[in-house]
Amino acid sequence: MKFSESIQKLDRRYIYIVVALAVIIPLIFPLGLKTYLTTPVEDLYKHIDEIAGRDDMAILIDFAQSPSTMPELYPMDIAILRHCFQRRIKVFTIAYFPQGAAIVEMALAEVKEDFPEIKQDVDYCNFGYKSGYMFLPIVLGMGDDIAKAVETNSEGNMLENLPIMEKIKNYDNIQVIIEITGSTPGISYITYARGRFGVDVAVGVTAVSAADVYPYLQTGQLIGSLGGLKGAAEYEELVQTFAMQNLDYSKKNASDVDWREKQYSLSSVPYKYKKARVGMDTQAVVHVLIILFIVIGNIGYFIEKRTEKHKYVK
């Protein structure tokens, strides 16, 4: 059988096996591919970092997501929460989808393992699940009084009685609203929160929606965005870089360059701090492999068609 014919008749099960290996191997043995920062991600990181250590400012994260989008969005949740806990930035979380409320709890529990000093309702507050029908009253109400608009946290406690609310009143005390979503990104917050009260808005979206946010970035209606697993990997790296830069080197020789470089090596970082970057390794390998399959398949197709044409001419 000719090469072109063998390509066209290749048992697709072999292709599935090769793709499966391309997914599994980089997950087990990360390649450590470099992640290059983009402006929307860096802008969001810097904007949040401006309020580090302040007890009169906070950020609000809307978990508008479901399990189907977790591979891309959950690493964003983790990276942003870790940044805030690391830098003593107050966080409010809310979900207008029942699935999102469960993801909030999961993300907070995971990040808190590394920050035992961070206290619920003091350093962060989970507003919990709120019905989607209440979205507009809550978003507009928070412009006047967050405690009155939201009323209770996820455990049913009145917000006005919580320590975290002592110096936080309304959107004047919210540095940015971040909607991490698998659907339409940020439009409602741009329309009602930013349009009415001027609060800054940012989004985290799946890769397929990343291009949709650029018009809003260019006009300044969004101050930053995370696009897919790539955006999560970038933010993850920014958080990790800050942590490495602030390690205690007192027990190490300052001239021990090898030791210092080892700390920055991706292979020395525990998996929970590099989920998105490991995922990017797999994504990159699979994308290259699929492109290769497409190229080879097309080559075989056109060779076969050309052969058939010559037979017909003869």
Give the CA distances from residue 194 to residues 39, 50, 169, in Å, rounded to whole numbers and listed in that order: 21, 19, 17
Per residue in 262-299, pLDDT (tens digit) is 444 566 677 778 888 888 888 888 889 889 888 887 87
**pTM for this structure?**
0.84
Dump strand ranges (E) for the chain.
58-64, 90-95, 124-129, 174-181, 201-205, 225-227
The predicted model gives 178-207 an average pLDDT of 92
**pLDDT surpassing 80 at residue 242:** no
Average pLDDT on 223-235 reads: 94
Q: Which two tokens stand for residue 182?
A: 């698998």
Higher-confidence position of 171 and 300 = 171
Q: Which are the contacts of 49, defined by CB distance < 8 A and separation ≥ 6?
A: 83, 87, 89
Residue 69 tokens read as 């989008």
> Token digits for 245?
């830069």
pLDDT at 269: 75
pLDDT class for 255, splitting at 50, 70, 90? very low
Edge-to-edge order in the sheet of strand 90-95: 124-129, 90-95, 58-64, 174-181, 201-205, 225-227
Lowest mean pLDDT among 6-20, 52-66, 121-135: 6-20
State yes or no: pLDDT of 4 exceeds 70: no
Q: What is the pLDDT of residue 3?
A: 64
Largest CA distance in the chain: 90
Closest CA to 189 of 162, 225, 155: 225
What is the structure's pLDDT at 258? 45
pLDDT recorded at residue 182: 85
